[in-house]
């Protein structure tokens, strides 16, 4: 399968490299030439525009930062939809509002193109190891078509349901992560107030029933959320806000998990 990849950041770059190394004919496009430098000497081709990339691809993977970026890359005059042929597939790896994917899927369908939302979790190290979690939403046949490419960087690959459901799953995952950050930092802070060393307490809890990925992240920052805020504060704020909007629109009550996530965001002193 001919693959196009747009969004060569800290996570997208390793994903694209795994696709190239798996032997898929790969075309890249990037606004910044520097992000293409790691691919010099590989089998990857470089396109002058998203439309040109799409004309050389059967599947176009998009891993840009936000909704506006996805919209621009896909729908601009020289965007992916201007070049992707009938029967082509777009995989949105960005974490965005589910309605953005549903609307873009409808627009793509009018051009004979299918869209799968496939946000990922795990970051650059997991991408390099081929262990990203891929949460896919879309028609079964479309997800199955993408699986050989997704498998180059992802394991497991979970089909969540129709278009948009992958985004809902990713946003709920990030909501729970933010909530766990709050409870973990509070527990370590309480331990300190009770004269228990937070580093040793984190070591104990990490081997007990209270263990979590969030606890490990808080412990690695010495019990503070500042390091997490510097690296992921802005993205977590975006994702928690999206969940709150989706829940409100559906008349659903997110309850304690959203309150805890909000507490974590409030405690982050230096979000991007």
In this predicted model, what pLDDT tens digit does every residue of 170-186 receive, in sequence order? 999 999 999 999 999 99
Q: Domain limits of the chain? A: 3-162, 168-267
Whole-number Cα distances in Å, 106 to 28, 30, 81, 99, 110: 25, 26, 12, 11, 7
pLDDT single digits (tens) 64-100: 999 999 999 999 999 999 999 999 999 999 999 999 9
- Does the domain at 168-267 match CATH 1.10.1040? Answer given as yes
Q: Is the pTM of this model over 0.95?
A: no
Catalytic residue status for 269 = no
CA–CA separation, 207 vs 225, rounded Å? 21
At 269, the pLDDT band (50, 70, 90 cuts) reads low
The CATH label, of 3.40.50.850, 3.90.45.10, 3.30.70.260, 3.40.50.720, for the domain at 3-162 is: 3.40.50.720
Considering the candidates 141, 170, 238, 269, report the single residue annotated as catalytic: 170
For range 22-43, the mean pLDDT:
95
Cα–Cα nearest to 157, from 177, 145, 143, 171: 143
pLDDT tens for 8-27 read 999 999 999 999 999 999 99
Residues 103-150: tens digit of each pLDDT: 999 999 999 999 999 999 999 999 999 999 999 999 999 999 999 999
What φ, ψ does residue 14 adopt, rounded to 5°? -60, -35
Q: How much is the pLDDT for 232?
A: 85
Asked if the domains at 3-162 and 168-267 fall in one CATH topology, the answer is no
Please tell me the distance from the alpha carbon of residue 6 to that of residue 221, in angstroms, as a whole number. 32
249 CB contacts (<8 Å, ≥6 apart)? none
β pairing state of 120-121 and 132-137: antiparallel
């Amino acid at each position: 399968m001919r693959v196009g990849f747009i969004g060569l950041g800290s996570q997208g770059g390793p994903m694209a490299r795994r696709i190239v190394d798996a032997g898929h004919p790969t075309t890249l496009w990037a606004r910044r030439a520097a992000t293409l430098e790691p691919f010099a000497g590989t089998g990857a081709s470089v396109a002058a525009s998203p439309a040109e990339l799409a004309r050389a691809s059967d599947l176009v993977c998009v891993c840009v930062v936000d909704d506006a970026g996805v919209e621009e890359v896909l729908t601009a005059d020289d965007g992916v939809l201007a070049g992707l042929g009938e029967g082509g597939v777009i995989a949105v790896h960005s974490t965005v509002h589910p309605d953005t994917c549903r609307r873009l899927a409808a627009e793509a369908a009018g051009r004979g193109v299918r869209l799968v939302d496939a946000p990922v979790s795990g970051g650059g190290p997991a991408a390099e190891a081929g262990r990203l979690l891929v949460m896919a939403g879309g028609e079964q046949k479309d997800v199955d078509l993408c699986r050989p490419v997704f498998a180059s960087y992802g394991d497991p690959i979970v089909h969540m349901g129709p278009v948009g459901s992958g985004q809902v799953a990713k946003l709920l995952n990030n909501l729970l992560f933010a909530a766990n950050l709050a409870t973990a930092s509070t527990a370590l802070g309480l331990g300190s107030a009770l004269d228990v060393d937070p580093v040793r307490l984190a070591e104990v809890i990490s081997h007990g029933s209270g263990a979590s990925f969030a606890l490990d992240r808080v412990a690695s920052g010495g019990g503070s959320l500042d390091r997490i805020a510097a690296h992921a504060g802005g993205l977590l704020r975006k994702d928690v806000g999206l969940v709150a909007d989706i829940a409100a629109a559906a008349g659903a009550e997110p309850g304690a998990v959203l309150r805890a996530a909000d507490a974590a965001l409030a405690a982050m002193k230096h979000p991007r």
